[in-house]
Amino acid sequence: MEIRCFVALNLPSELKGHLAELERQLKEARADVSWVKPENVHLTLKFLGGVEEARLPLVKKTIQEGLAGQGPLDLFLSGLGVFPNPRSPRVIWVGIEGERERLAQLQARLDQALGRLGFSREARPFSPHFTLGRMRSRQGVPSLMDLLGRLGGRELGNLKTQSIELMRSQLHPAGAIYTTLESFSLSASLEPHRL
């Protein structure tokens, strides 16, 4: 049996609460947006797709090895934007600042490690962000862009990243359901301490 999986950096409940309030404010633009449920907002570090259940122990071991020596990350959520551009927005996002270079290195290490197991390497450059919503049509774009401009300059909270998770994604008509399969601690060293 195959399980649809991805590796993610999840948010603590406090920050999910901040994003829920932000989404509530952005909905005032009445734009035609499919909003991500705040409890589902995450940063995908590596999408794996369908993984045979029997391969999961090897995938978990590979993720753990890819994280060796990676300490916690100091990040914070700041800024709002759209992809690909303000004239033709398709994705509404919250930005990530702080130790972005270390975050990119962590993502590259995971991509390389999991690539050795046959998972496709990422073709696009890593662009860390949390997706809030996806445009369904052009309805309400001017008012949404105006609101993004007014709300976008503030910091939304600190994120001391202590772990990343291997997540299961189950697709349903009402939206995806994400379940944590394994949590991996970001400790400075996985080697035993020697005195």
What are the extents of the domains in the chain? Answer: 2-185
84 and 90 Cβ atoms separated by less than 8 Å? yes
Q: Which of 18, 129, 172, 193 is catalytic?
A: 129
Active site residue 18: no
Q: Which of 18, 42, 172, 193 is catalytic?
A: 42
Active site residue 193: no
pTM of the model as a whole: 0.89
pLDDT digits (tens, 9 = 90+) for 8-66: 999 999 999 999 999 999 999 999 999 999 999 999 999 999 999 999 999 999 999 99
List, in order, residues 6 or more apart from 160 with CB less than 8 Å away.
72, 73, 74, 75
- Give Cα 60 to chain centroid, integer Å: 18
Q: What percent of the chain has pLDDT over 90?
A: 84
pLDDT digits (tens, 9 = 90+) for 174-189: 888 999 999 999 975 4
Best CATH choice for the domain 2-185 from the list 1.10.1040.10, 3.90.1140.10, 1.10.287.980, 3.60.70.12? 3.90.1140.10
The string of DSSP letters for 6-55 reads: EEEEEPPHHHHHHHHHHHHHHGGG---EEEPPGGG-EEEEEEEEEEEGGG
